[in-house]
Amino acid sequence: MSVPHAILALLSDGPKYGLRLQNEFEARTGEVWPLNVGQVYTTLQRLERDGLVETDGENERSRKRYRVTDQGAQELADWLRTPPELVPPPRDELVIKVLVALQIPGIDVHEIFQVHRRHVIEVMQRYTRIKAEAAPGDVPLALVADAELFRLEAIVRWLDAADVRLRDMPPAPSPVPEGRPVEPTSTMEFSQ
Amino acid sequence: MTTALELRQVSKVYGSGPSEVHALSEVDLAVERGELVAVMGPSGSGKSTLLTIAGGLEDASSGEVLVEGHDLATVSRSGRAMMRRRSIGYVFQDFNLLPGLTAVENVTLPLELDGARARAAQASGLKAMAELDVAGRADRYPDELSGGERQRVAIARAIVGERRLLLADEPTGALDSVNGEGVMRLLRAATHRGVAGVVVTHEAQLASWADRVVFLRDGRVVDQTAAAPGPESLLAAGDRQ
């Protein structure tokens, strides 16, 4: 989540004080991502330093009101159209755990799948409960919860597919006799 | 809470000798009134068999099936048929609405088969349809309804009257994810009003609407989710900024 860009977006409908930005940020992300007021002011200082926001001076209570600059508006427009990083991190921890499990004699890899499947679905139940208990018409909250639910569902689908692929595989790799070609399933390597 | 459905050591074997298939093996499952349980598992894991046995549509090879405390094995054939009409509601993947009947006639059918008077059945049917927000479509025929409306009518038929147990097999059918979510919301609301619900699904998002998820594999219950700690545990984590 890009806090600087979220703040630029919140300023796009007019100048605001830091505290109001914090409240609006939390409201619009369905309060799933809490943001403390210190982070808001640190981010505003950085944005001001980079010329993306400016203040109209302090009021009588020494509070600054921030407005987005033309450069800030352009930065926000560019960011909205920049594709996020879709290439996964080089080492997906769950994939590595499964590949490691395949190497260990006596491990029931299906049981490993099930432990992770249950855990992911328990997390999904919590996000679904957020949606179920949300006020009708709270679209931002539904969008945030949906994004997490689709991401988590993809993990479950991967586990299901892996389960089927490995269904008939023997529980532990057998030693490879010398001189024989290497079997791909018994020598999965994951050096990156 | 009261146990509406209990399976004790239920097994189901099809065929015999070399062609013998163990569809269910020693399954224990209890579902309380007010609870929605999802059953997940790969194809051939016994999900649908569990549902048909729970609803008295098929007999278990061994073990006990209790609906509202009544052991189905001790209930006569006609008694079981009466339970299916009165106490158990079914929702199927392809809705199974009768095309020659209007929406409300579909909903009231189980009541009328059970001998209810037409006027009383009509009132119960409209009440169930109102709960599902489709009372305004009561006089339409199934082919005049959208997919989402058809499934709402099918759920109304499953909860009409004094149902105690709601059984659903892949109830969101071919609906898109938002309409599918709508169906799960309705099933959740119906169960939380006091019915016990069992939903068979292979979709994790749909299963996550349940209070508890039970995992089947090769006809056995291999795992289930713990009682969820609630959404506040996500908000308190504070690690997602």
Which residue is listed with tokens 């790969």? Answer: B42
- Looking at residue B1, its pLDDT comes to 57
**Domain A3-81 top-level CATH class:** mainly alpha
Question: Among A110, A125, A146, which would you mutate to test the B interface (most chain B Cβ atoms within 10 Å of its Cβ)?
Answer: A125
Kindly indicate whether the domain formed by B1-87+162-228 is annotated with CATH number 2.60.40.1220: no
Query: Parallel, antiparallel, or unpaired: how do β-strands B196-200 and B36-40 relate?
Result: parallel
Written as six digits, the tokens of B17 are 């000798």
Q: pLDDT band for position A183 (50/70/90)?
A: very low
Minimum mean pLDDT range among A93-97, A148-152, B62-66, B221-225: A93-97
- Looking at residue B28, its pLDDT comes to 97
Q: pLDDT band for position A190 (50/70/90)?
A: very low
Pick the residue with more confidence: A101 or A53? A53
Complex ipTM value: 0.85
Span B86-99, pLDDT tens digits = 889 998 887 789 99
- Looking at residue B98, its pLDDT comes to 92
Question: What separation in angstroms does the CA of B15 have from each of A192, B61, B220?
Answer: 51, 11, 18
Provide residues of B within 8 Å CB-CB of chain A.
Answer: 40, 42, 181, 185, 188, 202-205, 207-210, 213, 215, 217, 222-226, 228-231, 233-235, 238, 240-241
Span A59-71, pLDDT tens digits = 767 788 999 999 9
Q: What does the domain layout of chain B look like in residue ranges?
A: 1-87+162-228, 99-161
Averaged over A15-39, what is the pLDDT?
82
Q: At what angle do helices B103-113 and B118-131 cross, to 10 degrees?
A: 130
Averaged over A92-97, what is the pLDDT?
85
Q: Up-side HSE of residue A45: CA atoms within 13 Å toward CB?
A: 5
Span B8-22, pLDDT tens digits = 999 999 988 888 999
Averaged pLDDT in 10-residue chunks for chain B of 241 residues: 90 91 96 95 92 92 93 89 87 86 93 88 92 91 92 90 90 82 88 91 94 95 80 50 36
Q: Which residues of A touch B217 (CB under 8 A)?
A: 110, 114
What 3-state DSSP class applies to A146?
Answer: helix
DSSP bridge partners of B36:
B197
Element (H, E) at A115: helix A109-133
CB contact under 8 A, A32 and B240: yes
